[in-house]
Amino acid sequence: MTTMLASAALLSGFASIGRRAVSMTCGGMTVYKHDWIGSAALARLPVSRYRAFLVVLIISVLAAAGSGAPAARADNPTIKIGLIPERNIFDQVARYETLAQYLSSKVDADFQLTMLSRYGNIVERIVGHEVQAAFLGSFTGGLASAQLSMEPVARPVNLDGTSTYFGRIFVRKDSGIETIDDMRGKRLALVERATTAGYVFPRAHLRTYGVEDLRTFFSVVRFWGSHDATVSAVLDGEADVGAAKNTVMDWRMRVDPRVKEELRILAVSPRVPSNGLFMSTLVEPGVKEQVRGLLLDLDKTAEGREILRKMEALRFEVTHTEDYGPVYDLAAKAGIDIESYSYTNR
């Protein structure tokens, strides 16, 4: 009966793909949830990869249904963790779902993952009490701290031993673009107006060369929705100049040799904090401290190390609001007041 119910829920979830609110629950645990799957990042996925994800998801749900995993207690609070779309949604869910399950098993709360359709949505989602926590990039983390008084809990240390990243501006090697002036009249691919590497840094960098209005300098300025999609746009000739974070671009280099062979990096930003976990002021302080302790101890157990492996991280480290100073500096150079910043992607 449990398997039948899981299958029915799964089919129901599939029926809503391409519309809104895909949410699949099994044994009291939300396996997958996305608030807007009809996004640019999803649209760029090959059909074969999309189908493969659905197959894996079916197997995961049915396995969970037959595992006898205890259902979440009805009196446990639900803490929804928002994930920003720095990669395509399937990769993002695969990286974080085991961590959400682990936290639910250790803390008196039910942790659920929610994909944010846009980077800046975190502000409105938290204000509306729809999301209680989120893994935020450096700029969205700065927004959450400045505008919502959220505090960082911890952030992962990358496989190279750093807990920071930097932005890159890049072009195709065969584009003939070498200077800022060469970019005039070209097509610019950005990520979102609430990203450091995918908007704030290129805006600040171009501003130092006298470029105040991107839309009059470039023939096309398009926001692709994820760092992954922006890299693909330039690689595939759909844009001439792109901006993205180094961690995503380096990941793409590992899985697609063309990225390293065919793209040239023209500029890099100062280092800023990697995506960290922020929690709302509505979350009980005791729960925050418990989550922080669990994250900091992940590398000490085999189960924790497997979670870190899926997240492509070595461990977690304590993170402070002061770590976001370089983000505020870049925003100022870009002419952005982070405390009052509100954005719309046009």
Most confident of the ranges 14-23, 32-41, 82-91, 292-301: 292-301
Q: Is the pLDDT of residue 61 over 90?
A: no
- What number of other Cβ atoms are within 10 A of residue 344's Cβ? 7
- In 3D space, the residue among 184, 186, 203 whose CA is nearest the CA of residue 243 turns out to be 203
* H or E element that contains 121: helix 121-127
Calculated CA dihedral for residues 237, 240, 245, 247, nearest 10 degrees: 40
Q: Is the pLDDT of residue 54 over 60?
A: no
d(CA 250, CA 255): 9
Beta strands in 13-109 (DSSP E): 22-26, 29-34, 78-83
pLDDT band at 11 (very low <50, low <70, confident <90, very high): very low
Q: What are the chain's domains? A: 2-162+273-328 (3.40.190.10), 167-269 (3.40.190.10)
Pairing of strands 241-245, 167-172: antiparallel
Pairing of strands 110-115, 78-83: parallel
d(CA 27, CA 32): 13
Over residues 68-90, mean pLDDT: 71
3-class secondary structure, 219: coil
Please give the pLDDT value at position 254. 94
Q: Are 323 and 273 in contact (CB under 8 A)?
A: yes
Pick the more confident residue, 148 or 14. Answer: 148
Over residues 249-263, mean pLDDT: 96
- Window from 21-25, 53-57, 157-161, 185-189 with minimum mean pLDDT: 21-25
Q: What DSSP string describes 99-116?
A: HHHHHHHHSSSEEEEEE-
Q: Is the pLDDT of residue 170 over 80?
A: yes
Q: Are 224 and 40 in contact (CB under 8 A)?
A: yes
- In 3D space, the residue among 9, 345, 326, 324 whose CA is nearest the CA of residue 147 turns out to be 324
- What number of other Cβ atoms are within 10 A of residue 329's Cβ? 13
| pLDDT tens-digit readout, 200-216 | 999 999 999 999 999 99
- Window from 48-52, 178-182, 320-324 with minimum mean pLDDT: 48-52
Please give the pLDDT value at position 86. 67
Please give the pLDDT value at position 123. 73
Residues 6+ apart with CB under 8 A from 39: 85, 89, 117, 225
Instruction: Work out the mean pLDDT of the chain and round it to a whole number.
Output: 81
Q: Are 148 and 126 in contact (CB under 8 A)?
A: yes
How big is the CA angle at 20 (ends 19 and 25), to the nearest 5 degrees?
Answer: 120
Q: Is the pLDDT of residue 22 over 50?
A: no
Over residues 247-259, mean pLDDT: 95
Q: What DSSP string describes 138-202?
A: HHHHHHHHHHH--EEEEEEEETTS-SEE-EEEEEETTS---STGGGTTSEEEE--TT-IIIIIHH
Tokens of 186: 């070209």
d(CA 224, CA 97): 25
Pick the more confident residue, 215 or 130. Answer: 215
Half-sphere CA count of 224, side-chain side, radius 13 A: 28
| pLDDT tens-digit readout, 89-106 | 777 788 899 999 999 999
Query: Cα dihedral sign for 178, 264, 314, 282?
Result: positive
Q: DSSP code of 53?
A: H
Q: Is the pLDDT of residue 38 over 90?
A: no
Tokens of 261: 């062979």
| pLDDT tens-digit readout, 287-336 | 999 999 999 999 999 999 999 999 999 999 999 999 999 999 999 999 99
Please give the pLDDT value at position 135. 92
Length of the chain: 346
Over residues 120-126, mean pLDDT: 71
d(CA 46, CA 44): 7
d(CA 6, CA 175): 51
Which residue is it, tokens 């990520």?
Answer: 191
